[in-house]
Amino acid sequence: MAIDISVVILSYDRVHLLERTLVACLRPDVAPGVAFEIIVVDNHPDRLAEGLVERLAALGVAPMTYLADPRRNVSIVRNLGIKAAKGRYVAFIDDDEAPDAAWLSELLACLERTGADAAFGPKHPEFEAGAPPSWDPHGWRYTLDYQEPSDTPIHLFGRLRKKGKGLGSGNAAFRVATCFDMAEPFSVAFGDGNGEDTHLLFRLALSGKRFVWCPTAMVREFIETDRTKPSYMITRMKRGSQHYAASRIATNDRPLLTRVKVTLVGMAQLCIHAGLYVVSFEWVGGERFDHRIGMAKGLGKLTYRAPIGFIDEKAA
229-252 per-position pLDDT tens digit: 999 999 999 999 999 999 999 999
47-79 per-position pLDDT tens digit: 999 999 999 999 989 999 999 999 989 999 999
Q: For the chain, which residues make up each domain, given as ranges?
A: 5-227, 230-302
258-293 per-position pLDDT tens digit: 999 999 999 999 999 999 999 999 999 889 999 999
pLDDT at 159 over 70: no
Integer CA distances (angstroms), 23 to 41, 45, 53, 218, 316, in order: 16, 24, 10, 16, 18
Task: Give the pLDDT of residue 192.
Answer: 80
Instruction: Give dist(CA 296, CA 201) in Å, integer.
Output: 23
Q: Which residues 6+ apart lie within 8 Å of 296 measured at CB?
A: 234, 235, 237, 238, 241
Helix, strand or coil, per DSSP, at residue 266: helix
For residues 201 and 167, the answer to whether their CB atoms sit within 8 Å is yes
What residue type is assigned to position 258 of the chain? T
Superfamily of chain region 5-227: Spore Coat Polysaccharide Biosynthesis Protein SpsA; Chain A (3.90.550.10)
Q: What angle do CA 25, 218, 206 make, to 5 degrees?
A: 105
Rounded to two decimals, what is the model's pTM? 0.93
